[in-house]
Structure 1
């Protein structure tokens, strides 16, 4: 008997792809040239990213909450979670490097005006961090840690 339904995995994959496509469309630079997100919208977007990436890795909610506070636990799964978030944000190259120009463009597009200068300052201060690592998950994790260490009060992460 033929079935035309999708498997759970296929349906989940399609849902994630649809979510990602929606975020890409919402975060396109042309959209945000007109208006950046409010802090509340930014937090909501980060929560969506977290919901999409967290199930892919064996990380406890407490670890993710700590990460959001700027506490970075040495955990391979958590490191790759940061990579997943960066991929969703569109700031990672095909080689697994952080694209600084795209990251800066995302700052203009997404961050409320009162957060932009500090965030850009941190990006510039931490731009060389990824060069110390070969693993893409390490690059993203330690670059994100550098951003948090640079200014904990301005640090936000899903």
Structure 2
């Protein structure tokens, strides 16, 4: 899964929304895994992809599953900003650094909520770079 994390971030930040076929397959697999694991409704994910975040535990745990699969968060749902920054291309680091640091410092009420709060922050800070599989 760590390999998936590096590939995901490298491609994503290098070319936002321009996913090649391999990346699309990886994203689909990540999505399928996490939907299966937490049982979230597709409609909730679709809305969150557009910035409409329902305050529903399944959606929150879906975001944590994504972070877990990408090896970016610990068991408490706390993301490691250094790990994320280490794989972001140099030309995106200046833009990403303050967003990552601000959003990963926020905390929710439980591990799933911690990641969910970070994802919502990312959307509000930079909707043009926000992405949820």
TM-score range, shorter chain: 0.7 to 0.9
Deviation at 1:70, TM superposition (A): 1.9
Q: Residues 5-84 of structure 1: matches in 2 within 5 Å?
A: 23-27=1-5, 36-37=10-11, 38=15, 39-41=18-20, 42-84=23-65
Which residue in 2 is equivalent to 1:103?
Answer: 84
* Residue equivalent to 2:124: 149
Aligned CA RMSD, in angstroms, stands at 2.4
TM-score with structure 1 length normalisation?
0.66
Alpha-carbon distance between aligned partners in 2 of 1:47 and 1:125, rounded to the nearest angstrom = 28
- Give the 3 Å change call, closer, same or farther, for CA 127–26 of structure 1 in structure 2: closer
Q: How many residues align?
A: 124
Q: Is the 8 A contact 1:119 1:154 kept in 2?
A: no
1:121 CA displacement = 3.1
Unaligned runs of 5+ in 1: 1-22
